[in-house]
Amino acid sequence: MKKLIITIDGPAASGKEKIAKYIAKKWKLNHLDSGILYRRLALIFSIEKIDIENVNKIKNKLKNIHQISFRNSKNIRTQVISRLASKIAVHDCVRNYVNKLQYNFVNKNKKIQGFVIDGRDIGSVVFKNADLKLYIDVNPEIRAKRRYKQLIDSGEKSIYPKILKDIKLRDKQDKLRKHSPLVIPKGAHMVDNSGSFTDTIKQIKVLLDKI
């Protein structure tokens, strides 16, 4: 049986995760957040003090990582790990490693009827032939306000102008990198997530009903 694949791409803090979780629950699909995999690698590199500018050191380390957790956790959601994940994501070897993990995840789960996968290159590179591609759009100021609130609520110290600067920097890194930059994938539907979540869901339901 062919598995349904829905991809969700968009910039940092655009609400991809919340939307993906909603779709997964409502349409009984498995959710895979590819950002978690970049964050997990960033955490390992940071703990082991791997020089992230040195591609050979990264390649050697990747050869020795045989398992990676797909679970979310508080220690991969810090500002430091966010920045590091975006930096390591420029390397082709890191992207290939993460992409393999994603293909294995989808292929090994034979009984699952479909997947919703979110990230920066999912509809444009990883699952080009997806059944539905979404691109989530929200301006940087709204994203920064939401991320600021999230960090404060989770007990992290946070300053709004710094968050906005960080978001703009990550946008730049994600959009300008040579390998698999963040783009609107060919055939993707734009979803405006600047308003209420109910508004966003309305847009998505229309698209999902057409599959």
Q: How many CA atoms lie within 13 A of 80 on its CB side?
A: 9
Q: How far apart are CA 20 and CA 33, in angstroms?
A: 8
The reply to whether 12 sits near ligand DC by the rule CB under 6 A is yes
For ligand DC, the binding residue among 89, 130, 136, 191 (CB under 6 A) is: 89
Q: Could you tell me if 134 and 204 are in contact, meaning their C-beta atoms sit under 8 angstroms apart?
A: yes
Q: Residue 165 or residue 202: which is nearer to ligand DC going by CB? A: 165
The reply to whether 14 sits near ligand DC by the rule CB under 6 A is no
- Residue 29 CB, shortest distance to ligand DC, in Å, is 18
Q: Could you tell me if 12 and 141 are in contact, meaning their C-beta atoms sit under 8 angstroms apart?
A: no
For ligand DC, the binding residue among 20, 52, 116, 122 (CB under 6 A) is: 122
Q: How far apart are CA 143 and CA 40, in angstroms?
A: 23
Q: Residue 173 or residue 200: which is nearer to ligand DC going by CB? A: 173
Size of the site for ligand DC (CB under 6 A): 15
| Kind and range of the H or E run holding 26 | helix 16-26
x-or-dash string of contact with ligand DC, 21-60, rule CB under 6 A: -------------xx--xx---------------------
The reply to whether 143 sits near ligand DC by the rule CB under 6 A is no
Q: Could you tell me if 84 and 42 are in contact, meaning their C-beta atoms sit under 8 angstroms apart?
A: yes
Q: How far apart are CA 138 and CA 70, in angstroms?
A: 26
> Which residue ranges make up the site for ligand DC (CB under 6 A)?
12, 34-35, 38-39, 82, 85-86, 89, 119-122, 170, 174
